[in-house]
Amino acid sequence: MSRLLPFVSTALLAYALVAPAASAAEAPANAAASAPAEPATFEAARALFDSRKFGEAQQVFEKLAVSDPKNPEMNYYLGQLANRRNEPDRAVAFLNQAVAAAPTVGRYHHVLGDAYGRAAQKASVFSQLGLAKKCAAAYQRAAELEPGNLNFRLSLFEYYRQAPSLVGGGMDKAATEAAVIKKLDAHRGRIAFATLYVAEKKFDRALAEFDEVLQASADDYASLFQVGRLAAQTGQFPDRGLASLRRYLELSPPVTPNTPGPAAVQWHVGLILEKKSDPAGARAAYEAAVKLDPKFTPAAEALRKLAAKR
């Protein structure tokens, strides 16, 4: 059970499934919680958090918490900061206080689920069982409170997909959740189903999920990338994958949190070419990726491994 929950939070699916990058904070919807005692300072702290200045945000939130220790919004942000520092026990303590003060705010339960998931990863085998069940319960409660929240549904999908049946996981539950996701967001739902099909080695059915989109819109950015990603991950449909990725590069979609940049696309091109026994082509693609983004470590690591094979 040491891999009960290898992934937590709302990053859509494993292996960069064109999900938004984990946001600095979940949108402050359902703000039924009481306002902080010093709203101007609180807003400044939240602005620091949203700007990813986490150390500075931590200092301000901690000062505010001295005079308002039970404020749920304060504990919500302190819990997220503890999660980011990989201190899940502290995160659980903060977030349980937030939930106790405002039990109908879905995002509090959702981030509490993240904290329990992280705690399960670090815990002993004997403790993982209870923590994993608490993680599932928190995600389920968040989804009950906001049935239409895509991020909450995605976390449940990932939990069900990865956790063993002993702690409430299962591919049947994941498939049910994928169907809910598809109703909320057709593209993300197709990605979820494709992920399940890949796990079952039903590669044709996985590809069909993306073809459904491409038949209606031949240049759909995300689906083109997903076809390429599928080929890179599985080694299936390599020529189709290369064509899709190269078309994606020709279209030059805007780089947003929801679309991979050209460096990531070049990396996937290299992965496919390696599988096609074309090391020279793979090397050129990896080098292009590193040139486009010197901080894109997957391509640099792929280059290192390729050089080691010589």
| Residues 141 and 14 reside in one and the same domain | yes
pTM score: 0.72
Res 23: pLDDT: 37
Is residue 258 a part of any domain in this protein?
A: yes
Is residue 77 a part of any domain in this protein?
A: yes
The distance in angstroms from the start CA to the end CA of the chain is: 38
Domain termination site, one of 146, 180, 201: 146
What tokens appear for 35 in the block? 């306002």
Res 257: pLDDT: 58
**b/e sequence 122-151, b meaning 16+ C-beta within 10 Å:** ebeeeebbebbbbbbebbbbbbebbeebbb
Domain termination site, one of 146, 165, 180: 146
Cα–Cα distance for residue pair 241/268, rounded to 1 Å: 9
Supply φ then ψ for residue 141, to 5 degrees. Answer: -65, -40
User: What's the mean per-residue pLDDT of the chain?
Assistant: 86
Domain that holds residue 88: 1-146
Q: Residue ranges of the alpha helices (H) in the chain? A: 39-50, 54-67, 72-84, 88-101, 106-122, 125-145, 150-162, 171-184, 186-199, 203-216, 221-234, 238-251, 262-275, 279-292, 297-308
Which letter does DSSP use for residue 2 in this model? Answer: T
Cα–Cα distance for residue pair 80/13, rounded to 1 Å: 20
Is residue 141 a part of any domain in this protein?
A: yes
Res 25: pLDDT: 43
Q: pLDDT of the chain along its 310 residues, tens only? A: 444 444 443 333 333 333 333 333 454 444 445 444 455 688 999 999 988 899 999 999 999 899 889 999 999 999 999 999 999 999 999 999 999 999 999 999 999 999 999 999 898 888 999 999 999 999 999 999 999 999 999 999 999 999 999 999 999 999 999 999 999 998 889 889 988 998 899 999 999 998 988 988 899 888 899 899 999 999 999 999 999 999 999 998 876 656 789 999 999 999 999 999 999 999 999 999 999 999 999 999 999 999 998 7
Cα–Cα distance for residue pair 276/283, rounded to 1 Å: 13
Domain count, the chain: 2
Cα–Cα distance for residue pair 310/304, rounded to 1 Å: 11
Q: Torsion angle, CA of 169/170/172/175, rounded to 10 degrees?
A: 70
Cα–Cα distance for residue pair 269/289, rounded to 1 Å: 10
Is residue 110 a part of any domain in this protein?
A: yes
Domain termination site, one of 146, 176, 197: 146
The CATH number of whichever domain residue 127 belongs to comes to: 1.25.40.10
